[in-house]
Amino acid sequence: MTVALINASPKVKGSSSGILLNDLKECLGNKVDVEEICLRTSKITAEIIEKLKKADTWVVAFPLYVDSLPSHLLACLKQLEKMTWKKPNLNIYGIANCGFYEGNQAEPALNVLKNWCAKAGCAYKGSLGIGGGGAIAVSGNMSGKNSLRANIYKAMKKFADRIVKKEGEANKYATVAFPRFIYKIAAQNSWRKMIKANGGKTKDLNKRLDVELTDTSVNKRIVYEQ
Ligand SMILES: Cc1cc2nc3c(=O)[nH]c(=O)nc-3n(C[C@H](O)[C@H](O)[C@H](O)COP(=O)(O)O)c2cc1C
């Protein structure tokens, strides 16, 4: 059995999706063969197709963007939908990680993946929705029971077992192993550091953009002021 581990974060390095896939790879051990794939742009290359062709199971790991899938991943899925070489019983699992503390924030995005499977003729086998994505990238070694990813690791082990047995189940959700209020404080501190490092001021974090959209159906301009 060959499993394609697909990292669909656009980040070149240090993505939480990549860390979660490494965890999964470790949990899968030598029970399966693994093909590691990165989808960072909206084009599926011939090299990626060759790797995907070898796999009978795909695990698509992606960050939540505006409650959905990143647009480059949607573009890739559209291309893959039409590929006739897909195996008839291709199993699809997802791992969506998000900035929100609660993993079930990713549920609508996982439904998008499920709907894609229905259209593309693949078997959706259930996914993991992981909260606290901002902390995953800095969470270090997962294996210790005091690790920040301890809860996620537990869920990942069960997820790996399901993949090996080709079992389907409802989506499962997990988050980092510390309280929500600490996650919020840490997030706010890191945004302050980031904005200063990029030449801004802390108070700029409260700035909001005026978004101007054109409603083509009635041909008038709508201005959203926040
Ligand atoms: C453009 C953009 C949109 C995002 N939208 C959401 C969102 O709607 N909800 C959420 O919980 N996190 C959101 N996030 C946070 C990411 O999902 C989070 O940082 C994730 O851990 C990144 O994963 P990665 O490192 O695998 O790319 C967004 C991040 C970006 C850059």
Domain ranges of the chain: 2-178, 181-224
Residue 220: per-residue pLDDT: 54
- Looking at the whole model, is its pTM more than 0.85? yes
**pLDDT above 70 (res 218):** no
**Range 2-178 has CATH code 3.40.50.300:** no
Is 134 close to ligand 1, i.e. is its CB under 6 Å away? Answer: yes
Reference 47, options 92, 2, 4, 101; nearest CA is 4
Report which protein residue has its CA nearest ligand 1's atom 29.
Answer: 65
- Write the CB contacts of 176 (distance below 8 Å, at least 6 apart in sequence): 101, 131, 132, 135, 136, 139, 148, 149, 151, 152, 183
Residues 101 and 132 sit within 8 Å (Cβ to Cβ):
yes
Q: Which residue, among 32, 38, 29, 46, has the nearest Cα to 3 in the 3D structure?
A: 32
Per-residue pLDDT at 115: 97
Average of per-residue pLDDT across 88-102: 95
Tens of pLDDT, residue by residue over 21-46, are: 999 999 999 999 999 999 999 999 99
Instruction: Please name the residue whose Cα sits nearest to atom 25 of ligand 1.
Output: 15
20 CA distance to ligand 1 middle (Å): 15
The CA–CA distances, whole Å, from 173 to 99, 110, 158, 226 equal 14, 11, 12, 33
Pick the atom of ligand 1 nearest to 105's CA. Answer: 11
Mean pLDDT of the chain: 91
Q: pLDDT tens-digit profile of 100-150?
A: 999 999 999 999 999 999 999 999 999 999 999 999 988 876 666 668 899
